[in-house]
Structure 1
Amino acid sequence: MEKMRKIPVVLAENPADREAAELLAEHLRTEMVRRLTDVPEATLVLKFCPEGLTLTDRKLSLRGDFSGMARRLKTNNLRQEMLVRAARIRRPERRPVAVDATAGLGEDSLLLAAAGFTVELYEYNPVIAALLADALKRARGDGNTVLASAAAEMHLHEEDSAAVLRKGSLHPELVLLDPMFPERKKSALIGKKFQLLQQLERPCSEEEELLQAAEAAHPGKIVIKRPLKGPFLAGRKPEYSISGKAVRYDCFVFPEYSS
């Protein structure tokens, strides 16, 4: 898996945030500052804000936030989500487990959790993991019970998913892969998010390793999120795909491991 490229400084202007900021800075092995004026112009900043932990380069800002997805979690809307359709499995006796091996900011995991999965989220980059952890904390305390219940079924691990999957001990019903992909820069909306994330980690270059690790976990299904016209991950053709206007989901099915 690709290693981190940049570590931002942690900014806490409000005294009430400084203890948490110091702990986060220690975890990231970076500096904690109290004023934005103390930060050099070209430095990434991880800022404690009333709205939530925010990554910024002073031009663009990025914050994990599930509140805007509440409408998509309503039953009728959820059934129409391409990912939920792609993730359908034979109904098991227990609540099925999904591994989101490239969690990012967790939006796809939220859809899976709302659709009935317990989701184990793996994010190797500690800055992205911090943004996701903050978003999950806020979602679990949200007044929207559907959102809060879904977030409660999402468990974050700051680990290399490929290493965990290769151990073969998870046996999830589903593995979701969404490696960062350069072609996404063609979308202005996604491009803004990509520009900040790209400063933290590079797009995936070890596609075959990632796919082999997912297979080693013996899931019932692997679902891979790709740009609509992007190549298959590692050049491997799936059993079938579900396509939308901008993305598609490539699906590999393993009946021998299904519940």
Structure 2
Amino acid sequence: MVSCGLIREGADSAVLALAEAYGLPLWESWPADADSALFWQEGALVLCRRGEKGVVGVDFAGGASAHRRKFGGGAGQPVARAIGVKGDYRPRILDATAGQGRDAFVLASLGCSVTLVERHPVAAALLADGLARAAVSDDDAVRAIAARMTLVHRDALGFLQEAAGRGERWDVVFLDPMFPEPDKRAKVKKEMAAFQTLIGGDRDADALLIPARHVAGKRVVVKRPKLAPFLAGAQPSFQYPGESTRFDAYLPLGV
């Protein structure tokens, strides 16, 4: 059930089409019983939570994404090392829990092709809007990065199981599931906490590991808070530790 809708006012035809594509209610005004709503604000789709000043949107052309692309450390970043980016090797990646697409964008900016799977309609709509704006950016590099990113609005578990059944493969499967328990989430800004509350935790995250290992040609990489338990309780084949997060890597199955 979608508990968030799009306010029509100011939205153009492309944004209204996003609402239809992702099954989002269209509201003339913000209902009193709805905690969150999507608005078209300064040329971008944003998520607002009642009573909060901050908003959440996906901006691949500017802001934090642009800064990380220019000054984040390139292939030396932890996520890039965990994925296996080195030399001329640029793996095909399946990001099965895409969220806001931040890591996917970093990997695409390094030359990887990335398929982003996101099941929640609000997160998928925000991603789709961010990708659409990046695709027509004035920056040639941003347009090229967006062209390497493909969004799929699907449940990750079903997508992985079907892909495994078809014998489909990606070099690397990347998983970054959200914890369902609020006390186990990393401290975040209020607007990001609102996003996480709306999207909810990935309660089926443990079930993703085995099918992910069946569609991975090289490895599955799981991003976790530093002190979090292993996904599905499975000891990783190797790890890439960080200050606040770590990357657990698993070898493929049945390849």
Compared with structure 1, are the counterparts of its residues 96 and 185 closer, same or farther at alpha carbon in structure 2 (3 Å cutoff)? closer
Give me the whole-angstrom Cα distance separating, in 1, the residues matched to 2:19 and 2:72. 42
Whether the 8 Å contact between 1:7 and 1:127 is mirrored in structure 2 is no
User: CA-atom RMSD, angstroms?
Assistant: 2.6
Pairs within 5 Å for 1:46-125? 46-58=38-50, 59=52, 60-66=54-60, 67-68=62-63, 69-74=65-70, 77-88=73-84, 96-125=91-120
Higher relative contact order (CA 8 A, sep 6+): 1
Q: CA deviation at 1:53?
A: 0.4
* Secondary structure of the corresponding residue to residue 210 of structure 1: helix
2:225 is aligned to 227
Q: Deviations over 1:72-117 (max 9, x none)?
A: 2248821221000101168799x63100000011011111112221
2:175 is aligned to 177
Compared with structure 1, are the counterparts of its residues 195 and 57 closer, same or farther at alpha carbon in structure 2 (3 Å cutoff)? closer
Give me the whole-angstrom Cα distance separating, in 2, the residues matched to 1:246 and 1:215. 25
Query: How many residues are paired up?
Result: 246
Compared with structure 1, are the counterparts of its residues 220 and 178 closer, same or farther at alpha carbon in structure 2 (3 Å cutoff)? same
Percent identity over the alignment is: 29
Give me the whole-angstrom Cα distance separating, in 1, the residues matched to 2:73 and 2:234. 31
Whether the 8 Å contact between 1:185 and 1:194 is mirrored in structure 2 is no
Whether the 8 Å contact between 2:172 and 2:216 is mirrored in structure 1 is no
Q: CA deviation at 1:70?
A: 2.0
Q: Deviations over 1:6-53 (max 9, x none)?
A: 431211322xx25345434444445423445xx316442111122410
Q: Deviations over 1:193-242 (max 9, x none)?
A: 13323223x31222331101101214311000000111111111112211
Give me the whole-angstrom Cα distance separating, in 1, the residues matched to 2:99 and 2:144. 20
Compared with structure 1, are the counterparts of its residues 235 and 97 closer, same or farther at alpha carbon in structure 2 (3 Å cutoff)? same
* Secondary structure of the corresponding residue to residue 170 of structure 2: coil
Give me the whole-angstrom Cα distance separating, in 2, the residues matched to 1:255 and 1:159. 23
More strand by share: 2
| TM-score, L = length of structure 1 | 0.84
* Secondary structure of the corresponding residue to residue 41 of structure 2: coil
Partner residue of 2:143 out of 139, 143, 148: 148
Structure 1, unaligned stretches of length 5 or more?
none
| TM-score, L = length of structure 2 | 0.85
Whether the 8 Å contact between 1:9 and 1:43 is mirrored in structure 2 is no
Compared with structure 1, are the counterparts of its residues 197 and 213 closer, same or farther at alpha carbon in structure 2 (3 Å cutoff)? same
Whether the 8 Å contact between 1:177 and 1:222 is mirrored in structure 2 is yes
* Secondary structure of the corresponding residue to residue 249 of structure 2: strand
Q: CA deviation at 1:137?
A: 1.1
Q: Which moved more, 1:53-62 or 1:103-112?
A: 53-62
1:250 is aligned to 248
Q: Which moved more, 1:113-122 or 1:65-74?
A: 65-74
Q: Which moved more, 1:115-124 or 1:161-170?
A: 161-170
